[in-house]
Structure 1
Amino acid sequence: MFCFSHAYADDALLQQVHQFLYQQTQSLGEEVVIELRPPSPHLPPCVQPEPFLPNAGQSPIGRVSVGVRCGETHQQVRYLQAQIDVIGSYWVAQHDIERGTLITPDMLVQQSGNLSNLSSQALIDKAEIVGKIAQRQIRSGSAFQNHFLQAPSLVERGQRVTVIAQGSSFRVSREGEALESGAQGDRVRVRFNTRELVTARVIEPGILMVDF
């Protein structure tokens, strides 16, 4: 649903930006309310507006700055301010979780509310929570914060590991010693018996891959 003043309903720029924001947020929750501040009356009309989010990696929830490229070449850029409220579901701790605990599905309970009231570090997707390790105590009813959790290490420093290198027509594996710990997707250094060093990506417990 949209929420904006009827005085600006026919403004092509606002309509374009509202539609863009709605497309970006409709999958985040059950209801979306968008309040958009009108552009300054001192600015010239924005021809062929092309909205974009300056912080592409951040969820467009709460106070958001929206960029708009104007003109046939889109070289003119201006920014509008929006308040985006998303009503949806998120996960909280069902009971107190102690530091060092591996998070399992039975430790979570789902709640519904305004997602814009949550911290920017809050995790909404269950898959981003389960399987992580609590880095501090998490109180019952608290939302899960990204900096509260850490992926478990699949490789420990000093561990003997297998390093795989493969291409379109070859696959080679060697054993070496991990010089640092790492979770899935982390890049760690490995030393072979020849004292050769490589940096490889952790893909499974004790197994790393060299990316070409």
Structure 2
Amino acid sequence: MRYLLHIVARYSAVKSLLLLLCVGLSQPSWAETSDQSLVESVQQFLYQEAQALGQEAVINIAPPSPHLPTCIQPTPFLTNPNQAPIGRVSVGVRCGADGRQVRYLQAEVDVIGSYVVASQDIDRGTLVTAAMLDQREGNLSDLSSQSLTDQADIVGKVAQRPIRSGSTFQAHFLQAPSLVERGQRVTVIAEGTGFRVSREGEALADGAQGETIRVRFGSREIMTARVIGQGTLMVDF
């Protein structure tokens, strides 16, 4: 009888041990749950950043290194804020309440959206109009980083080289037209609280909208001013 009870006790102990092992295998560890939370945080961040670029975003994130400490309260940020979150993207993550610990994850972001192409051949020196453009749909990450996808960045610019029909517009293909030419007599405006004055001067360089050039008054006085219109500049204080 004792022998039988001993066998039953051993069986129960083994059964309990196996049950604990199965539960341990079926339940993710705290570290795995933390890594999953980190990846989900980065994925949600990238999705929000990419929403403005197109209709659909597909995001793949490389898993974080298991050798790094757990990231608590992850706060993602773009390591290069001037780069659109498309293609290969590096994302930094500040961890902890003070954000002193920083981790980095790599991601691949594909965005399906619309972009602009030339609807006809455009010669060098041509002022680009909306009638010369056409819309296409596709994966924006396949385009060059210099490609202009927004019509507003293209219309009103001058082609600096021939652009073939069906081609995308690269930033260095276009230039804003000059509103001021070197040697031209221009009006320079200065204004502030309660005053507005203007003087006539001579432009010392060509200038497009928003560009800052030098202007000469008389024989010696020279200052810089910002082009705001045809033959008109503004002094920024």
Whether TM-score is above 0.5 comes out as yes
CA RMSD of aligned residues (A): 1.4
For 2:217 and 2:133, the matched residues in 1 are separated by 42
Measured in 2, the distance between the counterparts of 1:127 and 1:151 equals 12
Secondary structure of the 2:53 match is: coil
> In structure 1, how many angstroms separate the alpha carbons of the residues matched to 2:214 and 2:35?
58
Is the 1:9–1:15 contact (alpha carbons within 8 Å) kept by the matching residues of 2? Answer: no
2:183 equivalent to 1:158: yes
Q: Tell me which of 23, 29, 32 is aligned to 2:57.
A: 32
Tell me which of 84, 92, 101 is aligned to 2:126: 101
Question: Does the 8 Å CA contact 1:123/1:129 hold for their aligned counterparts?
Answer: yes
Q: Is the 8 A contact 2:213 2:225 kept in 1?
A: yes
Q: Partner of 1:27: helix, strand, or coil?
A: helix
Deviations 1:118-168 (A, max 9, x none): 000000110000000011111111000101100001111111000000001
Residue 145 (1) aligns with residue 170 (2): yes
More helix by share: 2
Distance in 2, Cα, partners of 1:124 & 1:94: 14
Identity of aligned residues (%): 69
**1:184 and 1:25 mapped to 2: Cα distance?**
30
Cα distance change on mapping 1:131 and 1:8 into 2, 3 Å: farther
Say which SS state the counterpart of residue 111 (structure 1) adopts: strand
Rg larger for: 2
Offset from partner CA, 1:84-120 (integer Å, 9 cap, x none): 0000000101111111110011110100000000000
Mapping 1:3-22, distance limit 5 Å: 11-22=36-47
CA contact (8 A) 1:85 1:115 kept: yes
Note if contact 1:8-1:38 (Cα within 8 Å) is conserved in structure 2: no
What are structure 1's unaligned runs of at least 5 residues? 1-6
Query: Following TM superposition, by how much is the alpha carbon of 1:194 offset from its aligned partner in structure 2, in angstroms?
Result: 4.7
Q: Distance in 2 between matches of 1:9 and 1:147?
A: 45
2:106 partner amino acid: Q
One-letter amino acid of the structure 1 residue matched with residue 200 of structure 2:
E
From 194, 199, 206, the equivalent of 2:224 is 199
Please state whether the residue corresponding to 2:41 is helix, strand or coil: helix
TM-score for the superposition, normalised by structure 1: 0.94
Look up the equivalent residue of 1:184 and give its one-letter code.
Q
Distance 2:121 2:46 in 1: 37
Match of 1:183 in 2: 208
Q: Which blocks of at least 5 consecutive residues in structure 2 are unaligned?
A: 1-31
Higher relative contact order (CA 8 A, sep 6+): 1
